[in-house]
Amino acid sequence: MAEQKNPDPQKQRMREHIATLQTMRDNLRQRDRDHQAAFDRLTDSLAAERPLSAKGKPSFDGISLVIAYYNIPQQIERTLESCSPAYQGCAADEIEVILVDNGSTQPLPDDLMERFPHVRQILRIEDKPSPVFALNAGIQAARHEMVAVMIDGAHMLSPGVVKHVRDLQPMFPNPVINVPQYILGMVSQNLHTSPDVFAEETANLTRMDWPEDGYALFDYAVYPGENFARSYVGAIESNCLITTRKVLDEFGGFDERYDEPGGGFANLELFSRLIHAPQNTYITLAGEGSFHQNHDGTTTQRSPEERDQLVAGYKVRHRAVTGSDRVFNSRSPVLYGKARHLSQQVPTISQEFKDASSRILRQLANIYVARARAGMTDNYKPVLSVGGSPDERLARTPLPPLGLLPEAAARNKVEKQELSYLRCLKQVHKAVRPKLYFEIGVDTGASLALAECPAVGVDPAFVITNQQTTPCRLFREKSDDFFANTDRCKNVLGQGIDLAFLDGMHLAEFILRDFIKTERWMAKGGVILIDDVLPDQMEMLERDRRFNAWCGDVYKIVPILRRYRPDLEVSVFETFIGAYRKGLLVVSGIDPSNNTLETQYDQIAAEIADGTFDVGSITELETVINPRPIKDLTAAAGRRG
């Protein structure tokens, strides 16, 4: 038997920590749900929501639910449970269900009516692939004035539907009531990959304590389709459409010219016809829903491309029936009922999409808040990069570049691209050939991706959008916090850093601390690189950032090292990011045992604060920095002390 390797203790601790955080997150979410549910129950008990019947208007005598059944023996039982008098909080004689079967090959169980006594009739229509014929027969068989039609019997209802219908019937002479439709699950059903979706749904419904907690369905639902801006207010159909026999007698039921399997656009056409009649009142139950269970439906199990092709065929028939291939809803609904918190949180596509879109929208909001505060009113439009980016540069006023790159390239006798900071970093990697690379200020991982050896990155807000091709350990924290964990540093950096790139907070005291703490973990002959030491405009070296291009006062590290660490080789080179000169500092002759900077830190910090290292112009800065020709870069980086 092969010897089992001992697990890495640090990895195990990290997994345990992540598991703990996930549990805490789930507990907080559950707490919020429980609080909202408790608040809903309290307000339900306090509010007298049922209006009195107006004199002369019909009072509620019950509702007939006409439900289409086609080869959904498991799903129909959940649907019937959600339509039961006990679930809906009604008297037994206030609900009747008429099941209409249009030629199923999987017939209903023989004992169904015994187990669900509110099922009063089961009608079966043969040789009609469209359910509209069976549904119209069910409508004619209904005994109550209020009639609900459900063209897909796999829809479960929330528990307040019938109560609201009871309230609404005496309020409006011709109500047309839409119960908003949702998809049951954490992801849109045509995108689902689970091998046994029904079992997965059952496990989740049990976990959510359904049917005892009927409104928990909202916490396990998405809107149908891939329209990210979908809401129940703009519905174009309803899978629980409720109206009166009077309205159906006057405007007709389903148009039987929609005779294709599944009914095509029959449900959409009926919905549009009824809600757009001016004498009818279009009402949406804001806090209720019908929830579609996953099954082998006409459209839900198809890919978006397959569904689009099928819908194109439906449009042909719809055009023949109505003279138009448009499906629309131009009427605003009367919203009735309690707009429950959970019903306002339902996403489209998937719950994962909801989390990601919320994060991106928060970042976009921050950008436009910053732009508004800065008085920026141009037509700038942020662009979403792969993985997203919280880059605050997007919110800053652009600093006009001086166009120094051609002049610098000519002075250094190289092509312009040779002065790109990433190109220069790549040259340093080749010269040093590190066995361990360390970076502060990872950002999107562009410079980290240059490493051809194991790498360690530290950044409190990195968003990796560049592929990393070598083993890489990332730490989402400030560099001071990272170095404070000495034991971890021994484990992560103990072999010695051969090449470090410091591009963290752009303030002199921060880069000084990063240098001190990085040098402590450097290998003999290691090299430290520092970005942003040679900006080309005074606005770029301000400590308080105002523009998109910013270096802060990082340049002060150059005279500091030359004054306090004359043992080091300190070389600066002209490098550019886009059109802006930033400059690259190369420090060799590293000595991890030298603690001069650490012992003198307070004095140096005081000198930074009192302006000892300030410059009054870019010309003075260039004199202080004294950059070397770019041809010397490899030699400076390759000097292994």
Distance CA 243, CA 280 (A): 9
- Show the tokens assigned to 590: 């590293």
Distance CA 456, CA 473 (A): 5
R_g of the chain, CA atoms, integer Å: 34
Residue type, 626: N
174: nearest Cα among 269, 240, 251, 243: 243
Question: Backbone phi, then psi, for 314, in 5-degree steps?
Answer: -60, -35
Residue type, 118: H
CA end-to-end distance (rounded Å), the chain: 49
Q: How confident is the model at residue 327, as a pLDDT?
A: 73
For residue 211, is the peptide bond before it cis, meaning its omega torsion is within 30 degrees of 0? Answer: yes
Distance CA 272, CA 259 (A): 18
Structure confidence by residue, pLDDT tens digits, 134-180: 999 999 999 999 999 999 999 999 999 999 999 999 999 999 999 99
* Residues 98, 138 contacting (CB under 8 angstroms): yes
Distance CA 182, CA 291 (A): 5
Distance CA 179, CA 238 (A): 6
- Show the tokens assigned to 154: 């796999």
Q: How confident is the model at residue 374, as a pLDDT?
A: 65
Diameter over CA atoms, the chain: 101
Residue type, 84: S
Strand, coil or helix: 6: coil
HSE, CB side, 13 Å, CA atoms: give it for residue 536: 21
- How many degrees, rounded to 5, is the angle at CA 485 between CA 479 and CA 487? 135
- Show the tokens assigned to 301: 């199990």
Q: Order the strands of the 281-285 sheet from edge to edge.
A: 119-124, 95-101, 63-69, 146-150, 241-244, 175-178, 281-285, 334-336
Could you report the average pLDDT of every consecutive run of 10 residues in the chain (641 residues)? Answer: 54 76 76 62 47 58 96 95 97 96 89 96 90 96 97 96 95 94 83 79 94 93 73 82 96 94 92 92 93 73 63 85 80 86 72 78 76 65 51 68 94 95 95 96 93 95 86 94 96 95 96 97 95 96 92 97 96 95 96 96 96 96 96 83 45
589: nearest Cα among 529, 527, 541, 535: 527
Distance CA 488, CA 499 (A): 19
Identify the structural domains of the chain with CATH numbers, from first to last.
Answer: 56-349 (3.90.550.10), 353-395 (no CATH), 405-638 (3.40.50.150)
* Residues 130, 227 contacting (CB under 8 angstroms): no
- Show the tokens assigned to 343: 């019903």
- pTM of this prediction? 0.57
Q: How confident is the model at residue 379, as a pLDDT?
A: 60
* Residues 583, 625 contacting (CB under 8 angstroms): yes
Distance CA 476, CA 519 (A): 21
- Show the tokens assigned to 55: 């004199």
Neighbouring residues of 587: CB distance < 8 A, sequence distance ≥ 6: 515, 527, 528, 529, 530, 561, 568, 569, 570, 571
| SS3 annotation, 300-328 | CCCCHHHHHHHHHHHHHHHHHHHCCCCCC
Distance CA 339, CA 287 (A): 4
Q: What DSSP designation does 392 have?
A: G
Distance CA 562, CA 592 (A): 17
Q: How many residues does the chain have?
A: 641
Distance CA 63, CA 243 (A): 10
| SS3 annotation, 81-125 | HHCCHHHHCCCHHHEEEEEEECCCCCCCCCCHHHHCCCEEEEEEC
Token pair 């990155």 is found at: 457
Structure confidence by residue, pLDDT tens digits, 47-103: 444 344 445 566 899 999 999 999 999 999 999 999 999 999 999 999 999 999 988
Strand, coil or helix: 549: coil
Q: What DSSP designation does 398 have?
A: P
